[in-house]
Structures are given as C-alpha cells and as structure tokens.
C-alpha cells in the first residue's frame, strides 16, 4: 500500500519498505521462452533472402516477418517476391485505401494460397489487394469477378503474338526487335497477368 502520501492525486512509486512479491520459477521460465528475436537478426535474414532494402523499415515496423516467412517457407514464394508483396504492394494499398472491417495480414497469406492452389501467378496479388483490403470478407472468386478477370491458357496468349507482330511491322515508326517485343508485351500483358509467368511471356 502507499504509506507515505505525497502532494497530488497519485504517487510515483509504492513504498520502498514494502515486501517484494515473489515470482514462481515456472513463471520466469515461461517468460524466457517468449523473448522476441532481436531486430538485427530479422534484418540479417531479410538480407540473406535478398528482400529489397527499401522494404525493411515497413516490414519491421509492422512486424510482418511471420507472414513473409510463411509465404516463403510454406507457400514456396520466391523471397524477393514475398518481400515486394508485403513491403511494396501492401504498403501502397495501406497508403491509398481505407481498411475494411476485419482486415488482417493473414488474409494476404490466404490470398497467396488461393492463387497457388488455382495455378494463378503471383502478379495477380497486386491487382487483387485493393479489393481485399477494402472488403476483407469477400471471397477471392468474387474479387476476380469484380475485376473482370478471365482465365486464359498459355497457348491462347501466345497465339496472339504472330498477329501482333505483323500489326507492329505495318505501323511501327522505329521497327526493331526490342521495340517490337516491348509493344507486343504491352498489348498482351493485361490479359496475361495471373495466367502466365511474365518473364516466360517476354522470352
């Protein structure tokens, strides 16, 4: 109890002659098992994974390490891509939209798992995140419907290349292979995102 009352409504500290409160050894041991990992260790792991440096502050301040690690180790996402999803795409969405009731970061993991299970490619995460952030309880198929996304096969996408190449040859002012590839990629990309690996498509 507070025995030596000082002026004012509250005391800054309890009486110094009070008996100490004993803590059971089991309680102390349980606390020792839950000590957080040092920030420096988290940072070293991000560096080892090759995650973009400009994501470190956001990932650490939001304590997103568990989700990044889960995306990499459980879902097989390439580390740089996992870092960009949480450190670039999610950060952008948080800065431009208001979170809907019930949004939590585990929903992003659910989204990645949905895409993996349905053989969609990860760039689709970027397009779906704004809807998911604002409407976290909406199912993923409904989000795709809202976006007017259409599933297309690799063959369907590649079959358009020859036609587009001919069109470019007729209309291009500066016709070279680099410009042609870039222009064709620009035409197909909106249809390709989520359906085919974009690196494979550009090749």
pLDDT digits (tens, 9 = 90+) for 76-100: 999 999 999 999 999 999 999 999 9
Domains in the chain, number: 2
Estimate to the nearest angstrom the gap between the alpha carbon of 190 and the chain centroid: 21
Among candidate residues 131, 149, 167, the one where a domain is terminated: 149
How confident is residue 191, by pLDDT bands cut at 50, 70 and 90?
Answer: confident
Mean pLDDT taken over the chain: 85
Q: 57 and 143 share a domain?
A: yes
Q: 91 and 109 share a domain?
A: yes
Q: 192 and 96 share a domain?
A: no
Q: 43 and 134 share a domain?
A: yes
Q: 65 and 144 share a domain?
A: yes
Per-residue pLDDT for 2 more than 80?
A: no
Query: Is residue 70 assigned to a domain?
Result: yes
Q: For position 8, what pLDDT does the model report?
A: 58
Query: Is residue 57 assigned to a domain?
Result: yes
Q: 70 and 99 share a domain?
A: yes
Query: Is residue 30 assigned to a domain?
Result: no
Q: Identify the CA nearest to 123 among candidates 65, 197, 203.
A: 197
Q: Identify the CA nearest to 122 among candidates 194, 74, 40.
A: 194
Q: 56 and 143 share a domain?
A: yes
Q: 164 and 136 share a domain?
A: no
Query: Is residue 190 assigned to a domain?
Result: yes
Q: For position 136, what pLDDT does the model report?
A: 92
Three-state secondary structure along 106-167?
HHHHHHHHHHHHCCCCCCHHHHHHHHHHHCCCCCHHHHHHHCCCCCCCHHHHHCCHHHHHHH
Q: 92 and 129 share a domain?
A: yes
Query: Is residue 2 assigned to a domain?
Result: no
Q: Identify the CA nearest to 165 among candidates 179, 154, 146.
A: 179
Query: Is residue 16 assigned to a domain?
Result: no
Q: 81 and 119 share a domain?
A: yes
Per-residue pLDDT, averaged over 110-116, amounts to 92
pLDDT digits (tens, 9 = 90+) for 122-162: 788 888 999 999 999 999 989 988 888 888 888 888 888 88
Q: For position 48, what pLDDT does the model report?
A: 92
In this prediction the pTM is: 0.70
Query: Is residue 1 assigned to a domain?
Result: no
Q: 133 and 78 share a domain?
A: yes
Degrees, nearest 5: CA angle 74-134-79: 25
Pairwise pLDDT comparison (54 vs 154), residue with the higher score: 54
Query: Is residue 143 assigned to a domain?
Result: yes
Radius of gyration from C-alpha coordinates of the chain = 26
What's the domain range around 194?
155-202
Q: For position 1, what pLDDT does the model report?
A: 54
């Amino acid at each position: 109890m507070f025995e030596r009352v000082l002026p004012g409504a509250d005391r800054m500290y309890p009486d110094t002659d009070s008996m100490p409160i004993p803590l059971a050894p089991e309680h102390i041991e349980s606390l020792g098992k839950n000590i957080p990992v040092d920030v420096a260790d988290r940072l070293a792991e991000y560096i080892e994974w090759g995650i973009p440096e400009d994501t470190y502050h956001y990932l650490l301040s939001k304590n997103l390490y568990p989700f990044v690690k889960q995306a990499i180790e459980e879902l097989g996402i390439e580390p740089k891509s996992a870092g960009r999803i949480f450190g670039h795409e999610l950060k952008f969405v948080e800065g431009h939209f208001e979170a809907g009731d019930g949004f939590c970061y585990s929903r992003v993991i659910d989204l990645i798992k949905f895409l993996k299970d349905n053989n969609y490619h990860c760039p689709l995460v970027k397009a779906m995140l704004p809807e998911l952030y604002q409407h976290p309880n909406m199912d993923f198929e409904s989000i795709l419907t809202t976006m007017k996304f259409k599933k297309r096969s690799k063959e369907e996408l590649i079959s358009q290349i020859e036609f587009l190449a001919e069109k470019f040859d007729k209309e291009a002012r500066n016709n070279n292979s680099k410009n042609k590839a870039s222009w064709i990629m620009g035409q197909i990309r909106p249809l390709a995102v989520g359906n085919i690996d974009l690196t494979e498509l550009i090749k």
